[in-house]
């Protein structure tokens, strides 16, 4: 049975959840934490016989030295159960990324160890880094379509992930288009070409294994087609309606769970059919038309066209969710501010009365068979890359592309101050490296 618990505000972020600021949904894991905490406290208390009967209903006594159950999520702070999913919001905003919200990006962790990234929009790579997950585990990306607010940080994840410990190709699944030039394969081939200088400049200096794409382009017209099936995980796709032919929506099925990510789309019959009875359904919910006119300075004509025809209006989002009836509906693709969220919430509630999260960056959902727990993450802004899961491969110095004679000739002679660094490292690590 779902229950609600008052949550303390996050140290860094405060979200609007289910339309009531500061409330979260409880879960079995938290119940277990509280039981363990109470048991530990009881072990330190006097025997029951020595306590007055009037104390039987006294408030819980919290230990001055033992941890209490958290109302927030901190990376690397808790295990993920074998029958549990955890979703991390790494981008929930709009094409104009901003400090509070990057563009679309969702990181789904499964209890079997698998991790999947759905979209990697502009600004989202730093959010991914904040969750401190080793990059070797972040090698699977599923793109809903090729707008930059849905794949604009793919280059940052590709290069930065390889530099920081992803020792395997980045695997990318994405739709075809109505022409080859509108497809994922074309986009990534040309992205790889655009990175020619970057990648050539790293040759012979770093572990080379991660600087490769493995592209899996599938038919955007496929109806609930299986596009991925590994380790008891099945991912399907179906068409979406947005801007041009090509966008898709996804479902992921694992261990009796069904997770759905709609990407960007006008409400459509395929989502209505294939997303039914999902445990967790993410669907775009665009800024209200009045806010588009007032805050984005759109013309009324442009606001109506973009906000209700190219994207999904809040009222339409609510109608979609009232039809598919997920355990949790998640609205995203709007700037979640104090003066915009209320209007979005009220318009959704005009057509939908089920469980609802208005998403913002660093929101975290833990999903079990019994409960869905919603919290905000508290992250370290000074985070460094997590440790690699495998031993790095030594670079092949012979692959380095040399400077031209003119550029090389401009080097200042500082070998005398650099040599002690080499001496220190060679002594500490048993190497025999020499200056160039």
The pLDDT tens digits of the residues spanning 402-415 come to 999 999 999 999 99
| pLDDT at 378 (0 to 100) | 97
Report if residue 232 sits inside a domain.
yes
- The predicted-structure confidence for 195-221, as pLDDT tens digits, reads as follows 999 999 999 999 999 999 999 999 999
- Looking at the 3D structure of the chain, how many domains does it have? 1
DSSP classification of residue 223? S
Average pLDDT over residues 58-82: 88
| Signed CA dihedral, 35, 21, 103, 325: sign only | positive
Residue 344's CATH number: 3.60.15.10
Q: Let me know: does 313 contact 369? Beta carbons within 8 Å.
A: no
pLDDT above 60 (res 369):
yes
Look at residue 58 and tell me if it is in a domain.
Answer: no
Has residue 149 been placed in a domain? yes
Q: How confident is the model at residue 59 (pLDDT cuts 50, 70, 90)?
A: low
Residue 8 has pLDDT above 60, yes or no: no
Residue 25 has pLDDT above 60, yes or no: no
Report whether pLDDT(387) > 70: yes
- The answer to whether 223 touches 238, Cβ cutoff 8 Å, is yes
Residue 368 lies in a domain: yes
Instruction: Please write the tens of the pLDDT for every residue from 225-284.
Output: 999 999 999 999 999 999 999 999 999 999 999 999 999 999 999 999 999 999 999 999
Q: Is a pLDDT exceeding 80 seen at residue 45?
A: no
Q: Does the pLDDT at position 62 exceed 90?
A: no
Residue 37 has pLDDT above 70, yes or no: no
How do residues 391-401 score in pLDDT, each as one tens digit? 989 888 899 99
% helix, strand, coil for the chain, step of 5: 30, 20, 45
- CA 118/CA 267 separation, integer angstroms: 19
Angle between helices 314-324 and 341-349 (to 10 degrees): 40
Lowest-confidence region among 10-14, 141-145, 169-173? 10-14
Which residue range forms the structural domain that includes residue 301? 85-376
The answer to whether residue 45 sits within a structural domain is no
Read off the pLDDT of each residue in 91-97 and give the average, rounded to a whole number: 94
pLDDT, position 67: 85
Contact 310, 265 (CB under 8 A): no
Contact in structure between 242 and 253 (CB atoms under 8 Å): no
389 located within any domain: no
Residue among 95, 48, 139 nearest 296 (CA): 95
DSSP, collapsed to helix, strand or coil, labels residue 1 as coil
pLDDT band (50, 70, 90) for residue 436: confident
Number of CB atoms found within 10 A of residue 398's CB:
7
- Note the pLDDT of residue 87: 98
Which is nearest to 120 in space by CA: 88, 97, 149? 149
DSSP string, 168-209: SPEEEEEE--SSGGGSHHHHHHHHHHHTHHHHHTTTTTS-GG
pLDDT value for 69: 84
Q: What is the model's pLDDT at position 245?
A: 98
Higher pLDDT, 38 or 351: 351
Closest by alpha carbon to 276, among 229, 329, 331? 329
Q: What b-and-e string marks burial along 199-216, b requiring 16 or more CB atoms within 10 Å of the CB?
A: beebbeebbbebbebebe
As given in the structure block, the two tokens for residue 257 are 């769970």
Q: Around Cβ 407, how many Cβ atoms within 10 Å?
A: 9
d(CA 147, CA 84) in angstroms, rounded, equals 31
With contact defined as beta carbons under 8 Å apart, do 284 and 332 qualify?
yes
Looking at 87-232, list the stretches that DSSP marks H as alpha helix, in order from N- to C-terminal side.
Answer: 124-130, 148-151, 154-163, 184-194, 196-200
Cα torsion 270, 276, 279, 281: sign: positive
Would residue 158 count as lying in a domain?
yes
pTM of the model: 0.86
Residue 403 is assigned to a structural domain of this protein: no
Q: What percent of the chain has pLDDT over 70?
A: 86
């Amino acid at each position: 049975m779902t229950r609600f618990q008052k949550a303390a505000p996050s140290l860094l972020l405060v979200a609007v959840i289910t339309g009531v600021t500061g409330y979260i949904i409880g879960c079995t894991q938290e119940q277990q934490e509280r039981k363990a905490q109470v048991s530990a406290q009881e072990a330190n208390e006097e025997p029951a016989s020595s306590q007055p009967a009037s104390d039987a209903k006294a408030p819980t006594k919290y230990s001055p030295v033992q941890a209490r159950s958290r109302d927030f999520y901190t990376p690397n702070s808790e295990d993920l159960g074998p029958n549990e999913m955890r979703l991390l919001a790494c981008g929930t905003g709009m094409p104009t990324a901003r400090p509070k919200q990057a563009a679309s990006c969702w990181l789904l962790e499964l209890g079997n160890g698998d991790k999947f990234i759905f979209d990697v929009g502009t600004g989202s790579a730093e959010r991914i880094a904040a969750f401190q997950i080793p990059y070797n585990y972040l090698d699977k990306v599923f793109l809903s379509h090729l707008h930059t607010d849905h794949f604009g940080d793919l280059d940052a994840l590709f290069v930065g992930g390889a530099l920081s410990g992803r020792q395997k190709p980045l695997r990318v699944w994405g739709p075809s288009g109505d022409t080859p030039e509108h497809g994922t394969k074309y986009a990534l081939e040309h992205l790889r070409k655009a990175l020619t200088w970057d990648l050539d400049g790293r040759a012979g200096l770093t572990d080379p294994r991660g600087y490769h794409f493995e592209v899996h382009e599938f038919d955007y017209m496929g109806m609930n087609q299986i596009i991925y099936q590994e380790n008891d995980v099945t991912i399907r796709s179906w068409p979406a309606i947005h801007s041009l032919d090509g966008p898709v929506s996804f479902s992921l099925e694992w261990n009796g769970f069904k997770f759905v990510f709609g990407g960007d789309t006008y409400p459509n019959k395929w989502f209505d059919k294939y997303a039914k009875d999902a445990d967790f359904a993410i669907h775009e919910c665009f800024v209200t038309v009045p806010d588009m006119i007032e805050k984005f300075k759109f013309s009324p004509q442009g606001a109506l066209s973009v906000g209700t025809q190219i994207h999904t209006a809040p009222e339409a989002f609510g109608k979609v969710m009232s039809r598919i009836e997920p355990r949790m509906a998640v609205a995203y693709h709007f700037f979640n501010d104090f003066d915009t969220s209320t209007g979005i919430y009220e318009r959704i509630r005009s057509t939908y009365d089920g469980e609802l999260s208005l998403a913002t960056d660093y929101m975290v959902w833990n999903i079990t068979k019994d409960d869905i727990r919603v919290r905000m993450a508290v992250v370290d802004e000074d985070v460094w890359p997590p440790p690699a899961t495998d031993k790095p491969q030594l670079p092949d110095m012979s692959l380095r592309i040399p400077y031209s004679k003119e550029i090389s000739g401009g080097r200042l002679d500082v070998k005398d101050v650099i040599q002690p660094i080499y001496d220190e490292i060679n002594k500490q690590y048993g190497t025999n490296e020499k200056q160039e």
